[in-house]
DNA sequence: TCCGATCTCTGACTAGAGTCAGAGAATGGC
DNA sequence: GCCATTCTCTGACTCTAGTCAGAGATCGGA
């Protein structure tokens, strides 16, 4: 079972990189070295800071500097000091550079078109669907779940999306004013935490943990971006919160939810939560769950 | 419409190669250079001919020779002359080499497992399905349709599979004895041809064209491997045969078929064929079709 | 105003990947 | 048996990608 899908993955990778990956490289090159092309592409039509480029491409500063020099010598970009901080420099494409970027775009586009050209409309549709599905799952699988400050920008963004959704889904709406700020200290160390899942810098899920009693933690603000549901992020987030609860010394976690959040309730039950009686005075709660935490494995 | 799916393709490629492609490389390397690792992997546990390796990896003979020398010096392979043709040489891994190959396998496997580990069983299943679908379509899209000798090994293989399927599907079976050999001269130049579609050296579809009258060609032996149906190969094969017919000076093509081959009949109709009266004495034919060929576009 | 940190750049390297020309051995067809 | 061809190998290159160690400019805070 476990080996079956890695075989699929590896076979796919082989077939894909033989046809696309390898070809792409030699294709994009065209005169310029691949490194220089990639850099030019990454600079983009509106320019980019050198520091940011180094981060995005993961290059050595000396190497990047040299690449920039060759692009400059070819008259494709100009590099000038950043206005705010004159240690930093900014690369901006010239007109010629912008044309070169467009050419790269076009080549890449042509290559993709050439590949799907032999397929009929229904095959293309199926390929599209399969690639969209695979991309979402792969991206979700490689997303990282990390603690952030409960009052930081990432938490605020996620909680804002969460509240907006509650407002829309609860039959009588949802008043976020009261809840928004009061819980921040509770979801910070040492008695709590706030986690977000990120896919390529985008926050796509969140969840908080706070103290209920000395032995019981409470999960709050569990949310997964609607575009990213069905990828297992909710289950992972919940498991990460439970790990965190164990780490903080809780032996059990509670959570409450509204009856209208049916997918969430199903997930809690799948994850081993069982219904308990009302434990809070949360006016929006209509169902209460608990799960005993086994001690840390291994 | 057309740009929509190239965007999907390119987005997928970006996400995929960021996560898999790039990591794979540094991952596999481990001490040996990437080129040497790839070669060792391609030699495989049972060895391979040098000429074949060069073809498969697309390498310069000098470069390959040098890579083999380094593997030999590391005690991973032995290179000896081919028994049949002593100009050729064969690379065979030593015990140490076989162990190194296993290690590469294991690393690659681990990498794949690591990637899918965060996914639950239902997500893995969906990823599997999506990748299998995408792989099949991509491979089918990049398959090549080429003329081969009607009495060559590729044509024999394909026609053999075709006849076997007819035997199974026709209510009263099919007698291949008579048909097998008589048509070979007809499906060869100058009045006819035989085409096969290949996916990575495997023959997955075929089709023949022969003279019916001076103005009319006849399509025969259209077959697509059951594993490769639904990828548009049948439509492409038929179109290729029509192109060939035009090239050979025919203004119209006929074909006959058995009523039990329902998918084929549907495809003929989709491709612009219309039913005509019986034109042949083929005892298995129960439906007859024709299509006028427009003159070559452009 | 000084000092440590940050950012970029230059010079000096290395390793990998690959090309090109030609030599030498074996082969197959005449 | 001769000769063109095929296959592999060697030597002499090139180009790309990247590392490492500083130098010099600039910044932010004490």
Q: Helices H, strands E: what count in chain A? A: 11, 10
Q: What stretch of H or E contains B263?
A: helix B262-270
HEC states along B217-260?
EEEEEEEECHHHCCCCHHHHHHHHHHHHHHHCCCCEEEEEECCC
Omega cis (within 30) before A190: yes
Q: What is the pLDDT of residue B1?
A: 44
Q: What is the pLDDT of residues A173-223, one digit of tens each?
A: 666 665 555 566 778 878 889 999 988 778 999 999 999 888 999 998 999
Q: What is the pLDDT of residue A264?
A: 87
Q: What is the pLDDT of residue A167?
A: 80
Q: What is the pLDDT of residue A4?
A: 53
Residues near A201 by beta carbon (within 8 Å), at least 6 away in sequence:
none
Report CA A29 to chain centroid distance, whole Å: 30
- Nearest-5° angle of CA A86, CA A90, CA A91? 150
Q: How far is residue B279 from each of residues B88, B183, B221, B257, B282, measured CA to CA in Å?
A: 53, 17, 17, 12, 9
Mean pLDDT of A258-280: 87
- Nearest-5° angle of CA B60, CA A26, CA A54? 120
Give the minimum alpha-carbon distance from B249 to chain A in angstroms, rounded to a whole number: 25
| Distance separating alpha carbons of residues A38 and A54, to the nearest angstrom | 12
Q: How many CA atoms lie within 13 A of A129 on its CB side?
A: 10
CATH superfamily of B144-292: Gcn5-related N-acetyltransferase (GNAT) (3.40.630.30)
Q: What is the pLDDT of residues B36-61, one digit of tens each?
A: 998 998 999 999 999 999 988 889 99
Give the domain ranges of chain B.
2-118, 144-292
In chain A, which residue's Cα lies nearest the Cα of B113?
A6
Contact A113 B2 (CB under 8 A): yes
CATH for B2-118 is 1.10.10.10
Place of tokens 């003159």: B295
Average pLDDT, chain B: 84
Q: What is the pLDDT of residues B218-276, one digit of tens each?
A: 998 999 999 999 899 999 999 999 999 999 989 999 998 888 778 889 999 999 999 88
Give the minimum alpha-carbon distance from B294 to chain A in angstroms, rounded to a whole number: 20
**Sequence-ordered strand ranges (E) for chain B:** 48-49, 77-81, 89-93, 144-147, 193-199, 202-211, 216-224, 252-257, 274-276, 287-292
Q: Which nucleotides of C are covered by protein (CB under 7 A)?
A: 6-12, 15-22, 24-28
Per the CB < 8 A criterion, the answer to whether B126 and A133 are in contact is: yes
pLDDT confidence tier of residue B195, bands split at 50, 70 and 90? very high
A56-65, A151-160, B175-184: which range is least confident on average?
A: B175-184
Q: Which nucleotides of D are covered by protein (CB under 7 A)?
A: 6-12, 15-22, 24-28
């Amino acid at each position: 079972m476990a080996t079956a899908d890695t075989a699929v993955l590896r076979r796919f990778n082989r077939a894909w990189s033989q046809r696309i990956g390898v070809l792409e490289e030699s294709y994009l090159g065209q005169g310029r070295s691949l490194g220089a092309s990639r850099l030019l592409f990454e600079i983009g039509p509106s320019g980019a800071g050198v520091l940011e480029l180094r981060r995005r491409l993961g290059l050595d500063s000396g190497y990047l500097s040299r690449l920039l020099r060759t692009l400059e010598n070819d008259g494709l970009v100009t590099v000038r000091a950043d206005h705010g901080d004159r240690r930093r420099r900014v690369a901006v494409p010239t007109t010629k550079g912008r044309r070169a970027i467009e050419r790269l775009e076009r080549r890449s586009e042509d290559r993709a078109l050439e590949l799907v050209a032999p397929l009929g409309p229904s095959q293309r549709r199926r390929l599209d669907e399969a690639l969209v599905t695979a991309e979402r799952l792969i991206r979700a699988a490689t997303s990282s779940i990390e603690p952030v400050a409960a009052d930081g920008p990432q938490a605020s963004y996620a909680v804002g999306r969460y509240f907006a959704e509650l407002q829309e889904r609860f039959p009588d709406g949802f008043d976020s004013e009261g809840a928004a700020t009061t819980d921040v200290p509770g979801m910070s160390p040492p008695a709590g935490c706030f986690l977000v899942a990120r896919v390529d810098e985008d926050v796509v899920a969140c969840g908080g943990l706070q103290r209920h009693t000395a032995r019981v933690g409470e999960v709050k603000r569990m949310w997964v971006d609607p575009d990213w549901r069905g990828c297992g992020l909710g289950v992972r987030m919940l498991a990460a919160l439970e790990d965190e609860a164990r780490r903080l010394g809780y032996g059990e976690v509670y959570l409450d939810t509204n009856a209208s959040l049916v997918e969430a309730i199903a997930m809690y039950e799948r994850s081993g939560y069982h219904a308990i009686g009302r434990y809070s005075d949360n006016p929006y709660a209509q169902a209460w769950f608990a799960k005993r935490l086994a001690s840390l494995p291994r």
